[in-house]
Amino acid sequence: MIKKVLIANRGEIAIRVIRSCRELGLVTVGVFSEADRKSMHVRYADEAYFIGPAPSRESYLNIDNIIEVAKKSGADAIHPGYGFLSENAAFSDRCKQEGIIFIGPSAYSIATMGDKIMARQTMTKAGIPVVPGTTEKITDESMALEIAGQIGFPLMIKATAGGGGKGMRLVRDYHDMLPFFRTAKSEAMNAFGNDSVYIEKYIESPHHIEFQILADHQGNVIHLFERECSIQRRHQKVIEETPSPLMTPELRDEMGKFAIAAARAVNYEGAGTIEFIVSDALEYYFLEMNTRLQVEHPITERVVGVDLVKEQIDIANGLPLNFRQEELRQDGHAIQCRIYAEDTDHNFMPQPGVVTHITVPLGLGVRYDVYVYEGYEIPIYYDPLISKLISWGKTRPESIDRMRRALYEYKITGVKTNIKFLKRIMDIPDFIGGKYNTHFIEQNHEKLFDSKLCTTELEDMAMIACFIDYLDKIQKIQPQKFTEEFASTWKDFGRKRSVLRL
């Protein structure tokens, strides 16, 4: 049985994993790069070890260094979190060779699902519908153009090792094909150390719906229902909810069965997610499988009432699943907002910097997963995700109202965040009505970015705050020292006495 877990990650997910480990009475080992000595997970873990320079390739992606720490600390298992080494087959394999339990699937499952082309072939063989596209890697530029011509526009270029929207480009026009092909390749190289890409037909007005699955070593596979992840910017999810407003009980049942079949097709073990693309007409296609814990896993945990990290650990211990499919049900509705350090008014440009103050939203039905704290400097090297805000309600409208309220309370100062933007989404009729697809942000651009929302009065208040601040600042330059010196009451007393003497 696992007694000591090394968490090969950083940020909010490292803390999320440590939480479950603590509840299970397991000792936790954190690892950190040069940029992360002050990061929260280093403070929260029982032990923490340095693993290399700030760029992830030299630290969080450095297999040798992480294995060395695992051995030095005597960790018997490694939880990879999401991102970094979580979907690295070589890492899963290496853990096995070193006699360390990898809390995740086998190298075979990761390699098959991780290579999007192999995944497509395997899924087709298993009878699961897939999106039309290439089945080979495309390396050559003239070949890319030729295939683009065959499939037709719009199309998607995707990294074969991809995930999280990196190395992914939507191409609507022939002229954009080569520039986008090149940037997709270089982004893929940077993010995954592998620049191979493939091309896929682009489904117009698609919904992105995924199924959470759990599979044990005994061959049992269950699904924990769907998550609706259609609200995306730059192909990255921003808001997720479960149940999906698009879902019907029949469709859920059918897609759930395909999700289980997909996991079985690669002898999957652990927690995983099958992503589907669903059209308005409810036609669905397998998109990819994420062979790890997802960023949006908390909404499933909240609605189904299962701690997915604990389940992962139980499975890694070789225990059979704690639930049968028929024992699971969805209770109420949950929404997750991803809080990013970014400038929503300027193409969601990342905004690293120092967090000066945080007002935490709490109250009934709110979960808050975070890693930043007051005074923490968000480094430039990693993801701009600061925290995740999860609301739960008996019904979807209650869950939305609660999220709107929580976002109203939530304040982070020092860096720009997308909180205002998320709050605006909560007020958009298409979102409230549950009628949206992955084009939601584009389609509601006017409402989401309209500067008319901003009244002259608000602008005036902004200017007044600057004015008063500046005024007080220049007036303080001289007398500030004086007041500090005379701040003590004893000095006041002395001063009064000398005044009296006069």
Q: Which residues are catalytic?
A: 292
| 191 is a contact residue toward other proteins (CB under 8 A) | yes
Minimum distance from CB of 36 to other proteins (Å)?
14
| 349 is a contact residue toward other proteins (CB under 8 A) | yes
Q: Is the peptide bond before 154 cis (omega within 30 degrees of 0)?
A: yes
| One residue of 283, 427, 459, 492 binding other proteins per CB under 8 A | 459
Neighbours of 470 (CB within 10 A): 10
Question: Nearest-5° angle of CA 149, CA 182, CA 382?
Answer: 135
What ranges in 356-478 are assigned the alpha helix state H? 396-409, 419-425, 429-432, 440-443, 445-449, 456-476
User: What does the block give as tokens for 388?
Assistant: 């995740």
One character per residue 350-369, x = contact with other proteins (rule: CB under 8 A): xxxx--xx------------
Residue that is written with structure tokens 């049900």 in the block: 329
| One residue of 453, 481, 492, 495 binding other proteins per CB under 8 A | 453
Nearer to other proteins, 384 or 393 (CB): 384
The residues, ordered by sequence, that sit 6+ positions from 311 with a Cβ below 8 Å of its Cβ are 214, 271, 321, 322
Is residue 74 helix, strand or coil?
coil
Nearer to other proteins, 183 or 248 (CB): 183
Nearer to other proteins, 274 or 385 (CB): 385
| One residue of 37, 469, 493, 494 binding other proteins per CB under 8 A | 469
Minimum distance from CB of 356 to other proteins (Å)?
6
Minimum distance from CB of 192 to other proteins (Å)?
11
Question: Nearest-5° angle of CA 358, CA 359, CA 362?
Answer: 130
Nearer to other proteins, 137 or 423 (CB): 423
Minimum distance from CB of 188 to other proteins (Å)?
11
> Using CB atoms within 10 A of its CB, is residue 490 exposed (0-12), middle (13-18) or buried (19+)?
exposed
Distance CA 3, CA 34 (A): 28
Number of residues near other proteins (by CB under 8 A): 50
Minimum distance from CB of 11 to other proteins (Å)?
11
DSSP assigned state of 130: B
The residues, ordered by sequence, that sit 6+ positions from 484 with a Cβ below 8 Å of its Cβ are none
**Residue numbers 197-256 binding other proteins by CB under 8 A:** 234
Q: For other proteins, which stretch binds (CB under 8 A), given 91-99, 243-251, 258-266, 471-479?
A: 471-479
Note the residues at the interface with other proteins (CB under 8 A): 166, 183, 186-187, 190-191, 234, 341, 343, 345-346, 349-353, 356-357, 380-384, 408, 411, 413-414, 416, 420, 423, 451, 453-454, 457-473
